[in-house]
Amino acid sequence: MLILALDTATEKGSVALASETRLLGELTLEAQGAYLTRLLPGVRALLQDTGSTLAQLGAIAVSTGPGNFTGLRIGLATAKSLAWSLGCPLVPVPTMEVLAAQCPSPLTPIGVILDAKRNEVFWGLFRCPQELPQVLEGPRRLAVAQLSSRLTAPLLLTGPGLTVHGDFLRDRLPPGVSLAPPEKRYPRAATVARLARRRLKEGQTAAPEQLAPTYLRPAL
């Protein structure tokens, strides 16, 4: 069984194809504004590159936010349409769990930060001792100034919000709080697919007509 995974929650999107045991391929979609025109062609290109077909897909996984309003809307609409037309399960995967899963740490909690505009952030706190993240707090929307009270060591911070709010955080990081490397701060569809495997086995699927993205705020 093949899992097609979509991530369009941030300005750096991607699509991935995975079997039950390994990643078969991944394609990056860098231009957020082009998801409407590039997402489905990206899926077709990925299937062609891996020698796969739509008929071989056994599940569609999608990153559900929080994140960019337009990107999430396009990603979920595409995932729901594919799941509906192919008659296969739809597996929602929270974007913050994807980011936490990319920074596994046996002892250190992981704080995930995404920009929410209007001087606010989306925040989540996780433990990820192995491959599967465990939610400790969130997701929730906070004023950037409220982050200071959550920067308690030991802590590893990740997420694209580190880039946007780097100047604010740089002067407020206490000893024992570290930053994930830049290449791990954006969600990857490959990670969406990996987490979707477990969710699929546990029956954590959604009906296409009922699945909604996690916005945490109205569209701007």
Question: Over 90: is that where the pLDDT of 34 sits?
Answer: no
Average pLDDT, the chain: 94
Q: Are residues 55 and 139 in the same domain?
A: no
Q: Are residues 9 and 80 in the same domain?
A: yes
Pairing of strands 155-158, 105-115: parallel
Give all strands of the β-sheet with 155-158 in edge-to-edge order.
134-143, 120-128, 105-115, 155-158, 177-179
Residue 215 lies in a domain: no
Pairing of strands 2-7, 57-63: parallel
The domain containing residue 10 runs over which residues?
Answer: 2-94+187-201
Q: Averaged over 26-54, what is the pLDDT?
A: 91
Q: What's the CATH number where 166 sits?
A: 3.30.420.40
Q: Averaged over 171-191, what is the pLDDT?
A: 95
Q: Are residues 80 and 152 in the same domain?
A: no
Question: Over 60: is that where the pLDDT of 32 sits?
Answer: no
Residue 219 lies in a domain: no
pTM (2 d.p.): 0.95
pLDDT tens per residue, range 128-137: 988 889 999 9
Which amino acid, residue 57? L
The answer to whether residues 77 and 85 touch, using CB atoms and an 8 Å cutoff, is no
Residue 211 lies in a domain: no
Q: Are residues 102 and 174 in the same domain?
A: yes
Contacting residues for 154 by C-beta, under 8 A, at least 6 apart? 107, 108, 109, 176, 177
pLDDT tens per residue, range 68-120: 999 999 999 999 999 999 999 999 999 999 999 999 998 999 999 999 999 99
Q: Are residues 89 and 111 in the same domain?
A: no
The answer to whether residues 116 and 122 touch, using CB atoms and an 8 Å cutoff, is yes
Residue 140 lies in a domain: yes
Tokens of 85: 């037309």
Q: Are residues 86 and 191 in the same domain?
A: yes
Q: Are residues 164 and 60 in the same domain?
A: no
Q: Are residues 115 and 14 in the same domain?
A: no
Q: Are residues 109 and 58 in the same domain?
A: no
Nearest to 201 by CA among 21, 12, 49: 21
Residue 103: Cβ within 10 Å count: 21
Residue 101 lies in a domain: yes
Q: Are residues 55 and 44 in the same domain?
A: yes
The answer to whether residues 158 and 113 touch, using CB atoms and an 8 Å cutoff, is yes
Number of domains in the chain: 2
Give the pLDDT score at 31: 65
Q: Are residues 174 and 192 in the same domain?
A: no
Nearest to 169 by CA among 190, 146, 141, 186: 146
Give the pLDDT score at 218: 63
Which amino acid, residue 216? L
What's the CA gap between 58 and 11, in Å, rounded?
A: 27
